[in-house]
């Protein structure tokens, strides 16, 4: 058995199994056997399999919100703040937590009652944070005429579903993939003639997505 804390070991094992097999096809017994821990001891740490799922999604959601809030508190310019939020969301969270992102996107609907309500509340807070930033950006006059609700949900679609096609052994690094995603997003958000040349170049280097390599 690993010298790691048993609870942490069980959670990491569950993350691996939920990612590989899915929540429904993974049992408490599977988690215990893979972790080298008896099923009875698993129930000492978790009431049931749903609680394991909740702990995975909850801790990941809290971590994401902390990353985004730190960025918002540090960067006052709405355009730069949005760029840094997207970078943090993709590189520091989604790419580093690819397994957890897949579990959040595909398995959160197996949660019930108060557990599901807690996760929904966390997701609304993340959504509202981005929506607020898009409204601030719109007030500067440099945003394309796109409905912010449609744009906001589109952002999450781009960020949350890339795990289906991204390959770790592909020709692009994680940072290069994130850079391409942000280029695509910003070309849909920002009016090219409304942002000073150096700033738009920093946001969309190499002249934009036309010269960007294809994702892995």
Q: Which fold has domain 1-46?
A: Arc Repressor Mutant, subunit A (1.10.10)
Task: Show the DSSP H helices in 108-140 as ranges.
Answer: 113-139
pTM for the model stands at 0.81
Q: Is the dihedral of CA 163, 169, 175, 180 positive or negative?
A: negative
Q: Mind listing the pLDDT tens digit for each residue in 80-106? A: 999 899 888 987 788 788 899 999 999
pLDDT at position 204 is: 46
The DSSP bridge partners found for residue 132 are none
Q: Do domains 1-46 and 54-211 have the same CATH topology?
A: no
Per-residue pLDDT, 110: 97
The residues near 213 (Cβ < 8 Å, ≥ 6 apart) are 171, 172, 176, 180
Q: Which fold has domain 54-211?
A: Tetracycline Repressor; domain 2 (1.10.357)
pLDDT tens profile 6-31: 999 999 999 999 999 999 999 999 99
Confidence (pLDDT) at 215: 41
pLDDT at 154: 87
pLDDT at residue 87, rounded to an integer = 87
Domain boundaries, the chain: 1-46, 54-211
Give me the pLDDT at residue 3, please. Answer: 58
Per-residue confidence (pLDDT) for residue 171, from 0 to 100:
84
In the prediction, which pLDDT does 205 show?
43
What parts of the chain have a pLDDT lower than 70?
1-3, 163, 192-216
d(CA 216, CA 211): 15
């Amino acid at each position: 058995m690993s010298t790691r804390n048993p609870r942490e070991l069980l959670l990491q094992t569950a993350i691996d199994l939920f990612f590989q097999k899915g929540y429904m096809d993974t049992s408490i017994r599977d988690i215990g056997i893979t972790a080298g821990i008896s099923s009875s001891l698993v129930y000492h740490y978790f009431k049931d399999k749903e609680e394991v799922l909740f702990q995975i999604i909850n801790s990941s959601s809290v971590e994401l919100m902390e990353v985004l809030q730190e960025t918002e508190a540090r960067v006052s310019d709405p355009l730069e703040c949005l760029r840094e939020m997207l970078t943090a969301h993709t590189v520091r969270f989604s790419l580093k937590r690819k397994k957890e992102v897949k579990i959040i996107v595909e398995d959160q609907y197996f949660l019930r009652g108060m557990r599901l309500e807690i996760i929904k509340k966390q997701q609304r807070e993340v959504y509202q944070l981005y929506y607020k930033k898009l409204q601030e950006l719109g007030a500067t006059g440099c945003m394309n005429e796109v409905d912010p609700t449609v744009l906001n949900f589109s952002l999450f679609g781009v960020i949350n579903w890339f795990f289906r096609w991204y390959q770790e052994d592909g020709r692009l690094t994680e940072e290069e993939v994130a850079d391409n995603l942000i280029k695509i997003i910003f070309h849909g958000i920002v009016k090219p003639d409304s942002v000073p040349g150096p700033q738009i170049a920093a946001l969309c280097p190499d002249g934009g997505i036309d010269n960007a390599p294809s994702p892995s």
